[in-house]
Amino acid sequence: MDKIVNLSLSVLLVLWGCAHGGSPSVQIGGLFPRGADQEYSAFRIGMVQFGTQEFRLTPHIDNLEVANSFAVTNCFCSQFSRGVYAIFGFYDKKSVNTITSFCGTLHVSFITPSFPLDGTQQFIIQMRPDIKGPLLSLIEYYKWDKFAYLYDSDRGLTTLQVVLDMAAERKWQVTAINVGNLKDERKDEAYRSLFQDLENKKERRVILDCEQDKVKDIMEQVITIGRHVKGYHYIIANLGFIDGDLSKIQYGGANVSGFQIVDFDDPLVSKFDQRWEALEEKEYPGADSKIRYTSALTYDAVQVMTEAFRYLHKQRIDFTRRANNGDCLANPAVPWAQGVEIERALKQVRVEGLTGNIQFDQHGKRVNYSVNIMELKTNGPVKIGYWNEVDKMAVTKSDVFANESTGMENKTVIVTTILEAPYVMLKKNSDLFVDNERYEGYCVDLATEIAKHCGFKYQLKIVGDGKYGARDAETKIWNGMVGELVYGKADIAVAPLTITLVREEVIDFSKPFMSLGISIMIKKPQKSKPGVFSFLDPLAYEIWMCIVFAYIGVSVVLFLVSRFSPYEWHTEEYEDGQIQTNESTNEFGIFNSLWFSLGAFMRQGCDISPRSLSGRIVGGVWWFFTLIIISSYTANLAAFLTVERMVSPIESAEDLAKQTEIAYGTLDAGSTKEFFRRSKIALFDKMWTYMRSAEPSVFVKTTGEGVSRVRKSKGKYAYLLESTMNEYIEQRKPCDTMKVGGNLDSKGYGIATPKGSSLRNAVNLAVLKLNEQGLLDKLKNKWWYDKGECGSGGGDSKEKTSALSLSNVAGVFYILVGGLGLAMLVALIEFCYKSRAEAKRMKMTFGDAMRNKARLSVTGSTGENGRVMTPEFPKAVHAVPYPRPDMGLNVSLTDLS
């Protein structure tokens, strides 16, 4: 359909030109700045639209840099030499004097949509109405007495001067700031710094007296630093309020006002708008968007010129330039005689155009015009009134910036959240449910409790882009849940949303409902089973060594005190035939001392014991020592034999920073990465230096990717993430991750609302109440541990003591077998030694002695009391105590033979 309309319009333009091919030509000059594509398209359409049978307008167009006075001079003289009757064009602060000088000297009328000039310049027809009156009326209407005025010096200082004069009269406090001389490469930083300074001065009312392109740049930085929220008010002091893209700011909450010269509700404008939208953008650049006010002024300027020349034609006034195409730089200058008539005709024009009533005073300035007063609402720009020279400002709507956040009764609150286990999850059979019933999780339960306390109905809405909320570096637009709140698409965010400074600047947070910090996740080490000699583990290696030295030391001390104490000596009497011998003996030789100490340590006792006081002291302290050691050993032995321990390669961030074998990283875009990047602490700065330069990259795009990397890295990668998620994943199958060390920082999750929302206080009180009632802890236990899949011990472990296996006590059996083998070896050595001694004594061969000993060992002969008798055993042994010197000897000997 659009192609048919475009084809019809093209055919109409061709036929129109053919029909007026014989009409006299009126030469019109055109000076357009580079980039003014839409204005030039409007100029061309006007040329076709307002052509008449009496004459036709023939344009001569030059594209130039209007800030270059030399280029303006060259183009103006070129137009004048072509014999143009009038010139349409643009100027700026640098070229305005050049143009006004040429026009006044050569009597060539210059029709312009550029900013109005002060004074009484001749031959300048100003299409743009003056904005001073509407601006002052709007300031008075809002009752501003303190505000900042940002102006572009390229537009002149006339409006600022009027505002300052009124401020002096009304005692206003005005902070005037020139933003026209900022360098392009640093303008964004300068704008942010400027508004930060204004914030420090509590300046939250700002007038932007700039063209639309500069207003766009400023508003982008306003959004970037969060100054587009409730509490701020901006007035855009140009006549194209809806020309710019206001969608980025309309949901922020800030009040934005302005002026609109083109009324799209007017039938004349609506009809033109339909034709404009039907144009082909390739042929008419800029036709793909709504016509701007500067383009509408250009279109109306063509109509004004057409009406003026039609009037001259009807009055039969000769305005031809025969033999008058002279040099504009001639000295003396030769003005055009008919130029005065053309100027008079232009000032007498009175028509209705796209910018309303078009009428000029004797100085070529617009009079009797009307400007719409606009305000930005959440549903877009809205006309709240108008301004004209007679009525001044007239308000047609009384709900000017009414509080749209009224009571929540009869309103369903939109709760934005994000799918993130265990906070918000889809139920397994979610297809069977609708709306809020489809979801479960910590934040779902929390939203229910908050709605119950605040008394509103709500609807859960999953954020479309799946993001928490960050500001895009290029577009300066907030995404995620923060963007939903900033741009008015949601009323509240209930999600694991970290409270940060940059977010707090654009939205409000409640008190934290959960505290957390950055933690370290590693793959759970393999459980080390007890070794063969694990029964030694209850005591450290150093303790075992000390016990050995203590054992030897006690045995030596016992040997010495027994040797020097007379009470450890006793007499033994031997009777061999008719010979009797008495010998003093001491039972605590070195070997018996070692045997006594060993028996006491093993809790088995011994067949000998000290008789002297000193020996008993040694024995007593040794018994006490062994009591404590053995009790401590026994207490720890069960745990070391039945528990499979895990040895973690790292225990803290310090361990991570000191080594290079285990790589570590964070989420590629998130608060954890920003924490390390901005940290000034030496340890974290060292970790950031490593992460930034590590190859391959240690950063991951999602938390799931980070967890997967930990599980597949075989213990060679550690992931830094928020502790709550770390604890939750630790309780999920396959139960192969674990949190080590403490948190690296401290922060909290909060419930977010738009700036100035009426829900903020109610939500804040609800969170505090839920915390005092212990419900927040109860919810966390429910979704983290009660529904955990790994148990309190992690993995598939059960809460019971496992039975001992052979591997747990294998070392004890090895020692038993080794001891038995050693005993047999020693017995063999003793056997051989005794056989050799017997062979020497009996003067027989070593082999015969071994055979006799072996026969005796096998058969033997049992004597009295079950004792094995050998040939060497004495027939009678009598033990006689060693008599004390003061005792009389009165001993009777019993013959046992």
Q: Is residue 686 a contact partner of residue 657, using CB atoms and an 8 Å limit?
A: yes
Closest by CA to 61, choosing from 24, 37, 89, is 89
Q: Residue 146's pLDDT is what?
A: 92
Closest by CA to 135, choosing from 121, 154, 155, is 155
- Pull the structure tokens for residue 254: 């800030």
Whole-angstrom Cα distance, residue 357 to residue 151?
Answer: 28
Averaged pLDDT for residues 736-744: 88
Q: Helix (H, G, I), strand (E, B), or coil: what is residue 639?
A: helix
Q: Helix (H, G, I), strand (E, B), or coil: what is residue 483?
A: helix
More confident call, 632 vs 892: 632
Q: Residue 792's pLDDT is what?
A: 57
Beta-strand runs (E) in 639-708? 645-646, 663-665
Q: Is the peptide bond before 871 cis (omega within 30 degrees of 0)?
A: no
Q: Is residue 360 a contact partner of residue 354, using CB atoms and an 8 Å limit?
A: no
Averaged pLDDT for residues 875-883: 43
Whole-angstrom Cα distance, residue 351 to residue 358?
Answer: 5
Q: Which helix (DSSP H) or strand (DSSP E) does residue 447 occupy?
A: helix 442-454
**Residue 717 one-letter amino acid:** Y
Q: What is the pLDDT of residues 313-352, one digit of tens each?
A: 888 776 666 545 566 777 777 777 788 888 999 999 999 9
Strand partners, 520: 720, 740
- Pull the structure tokens for residue 244: 């710019």
- Cα→Cα distances 696→521, 665, 673, 692, 693, Å: 19, 11, 17, 10, 9
Place of tokens 């206001």: 246
Closest by CA to 245, choosing from 279, 277, 217, 274, is 217
Q: Which positions ≥6 away from 617 have C-beta within 8 Å? A: none
Q: Residue 486's pLDDT is what?
A: 83
Confidence band, pLDDT 50/70/90 cuts, at residue 719: very high
Q: Which helix (DSSP H) or strand (DSSP E) does residue 771 occupy?
A: helix 759-772
Q: What is the pLDDT of residues 204-259, one digit of tens each?
A: 899 999 888 888 888 888 877 777 777 789 999 999 998 888 877 776 678 899 99
Q: Residue 570's pLDDT is what?
A: 73
For the whole model, what pTM was predicted?
0.56
- Cα→Cα distances 866→804, 862, 869, 897, Å: 42, 6, 9, 17
**Residue 139 one-letter amino acid:** I
Using only C-alpha atoms, the chain has a radius of gyration, in whole angstroms, of 52
Averaged pLDDT for residues 718-728: 89
Q: Is the pLDDT of residue 628 over 70?
A: yes
Lowest mean pLDDT among 52-56, 194-198, 271-275: 52-56
Share of the chain above pLDDT 90, in %: 24
Whole-angstrom Cα distance, residue 63 to residue 84?
Answer: 16
**φ and ψ at residue 531, rounded to 5 degrees:** -80, 180
Whole-angstrom Cα distance, residue 477 to residue 470?
Answer: 8
Whole-angstrom Cα distance, residue 613 to residue 630?
Answer: 25
Confidence band, pLDDT 50/70/90 cuts, at residue 634: confident
Place of tokens 């064009």: 89
Q: Is the pLDDT of residue 476 over 90?
A: no
Q: Is residue 455 a contact partner of residue 462, using CB atoms and an 8 Å limit?
A: no
Q: Which helix (DSSP H) or strand (DSSP E) does residue 205 occupy?
A: strand 205-209
Q: Is the pLDDT of residue 94 over 80?
A: yes
Helix 187-200 to helix 212-224 angle, to the nearest 10 degrees? 60
Q: What is the pLDDT of residues 495-532, one digit of tens each?
A: 999 888 888 888 889 999 999 899 999 888 876 666 66
DSSP class of residue 144 equals -
Q: Residue 734's pLDDT is what?
A: 86
Q: Which positions ≥6 away from 26 have C-beta within 8 Å? A: 55, 56, 57, 58, 85, 309
Mean pLDDT of the chain: 81
Q: Residue 760's pLDDT is what?
A: 86
**Residue 700 one-letter amino acid:** V
- Cα→Cα distances 467→463, 497, 727, Å: 7, 10, 22
Q: What is the pLDDT of residues 760-813, one digit of tens each?
A: 888 999 999 999 999 999 999 889 888 877 865 444 444 445 566 666 667 667
Q: Is the peptide bond before 116 cis (omega within 30 degrees of 0)?
A: no
Q: Residue 254's pLDDT is what?
A: 82
Q: Is the pLDDT of residue 300 over 90?
A: yes
Q: Is the pLDDT of residue 4 over 50?
A: no
Q: Residue 155's pLDDT is what?
A: 66
Q: Is the dihedral of CA 419, 423, 427, 433 positive or negative?
A: negative
Taking the CA atoms of residue 375, residue 225, residue 668 and residue 790 in that order, the dihedral angle to the nearest 10 degrees is -80
Q: Which positions ≥6 away from 326 have C-beta within 8 Å? A: 80, 81, 334
- Pull the structure tokens for residue 548: 């050995």
More confident call, 43 vs 412: 43
Q: HSE-up of 711 (CA within 13 Å, CB side)?
A: 14
**Residue 115 one-letter amino acid:** F
Confidence band, pLDDT 50/70/90 cuts, at residue 17: very low
Q: Which positions ≥6 away from 771 have C-beta within 8 Å? A: 511, 513
> How do strand 392-395 and strand 380-388 relate by DSSP bridges?
antiparallel
Q: Is residue 590 a contact partner of residue 559, using CB atoms and an 8 Å limit?
A: yes
> How do strand 233-236 and strand 205-209 relate by DSSP bridges?
parallel
Cβ-count burial of 525 within 10 angstroms (0-12 exposed, 13-18 middle, 19+ buried)?
Answer: middle
Q: Is the pLDDT of residue 446 over 90?
A: yes
> How do strand 518-523 and strand 717-722 relate by DSSP bridges?
antiparallel
Whole-angstrom Cα distance, residue 226 to residue 218?
Answer: 12
DSSP class of residue 51 equals -
Whole-angstrom Cα distance, residue 134 to residue 259?
Answer: 8
Number of CB atoms found within 10 A of residue 241's CB: 27
Q: Helix (H, G, I), strand (E, B), or coil: what is residue 530?
A: coil
Q: Is the pLDDT of residue 371 over 90?
A: yes
**φ and ψ at residue 736, rounded to 5 degrees:** -115, 15
Beta-strand runs (E) in 692-810? 717-722, 737-740, 747-749, 752-754
Q: Residue 319's pLDDT is what?
A: 64
Whole-angstrom Cα distance, residue 106 to residue 470?
Answer: 59
Cα–chain center distance at 376? 31
Confidence band, pLDDT 50/70/90 cuts, at residue 370: very high
Whole-angstrom Cα distance, residue 503 to residue 497?
Answer: 10
Q: Residue 866's pLDDT is what?
A: 38
Lowest mean pLDDT among 441-455, 541-555, 609-623, 748-762: 609-623
Q: Is the pLDDT of residue 579 over 80?
A: no
Q: Is residue 863 a contact partner of residue 852, using CB atoms and an 8 Å limit?
A: no
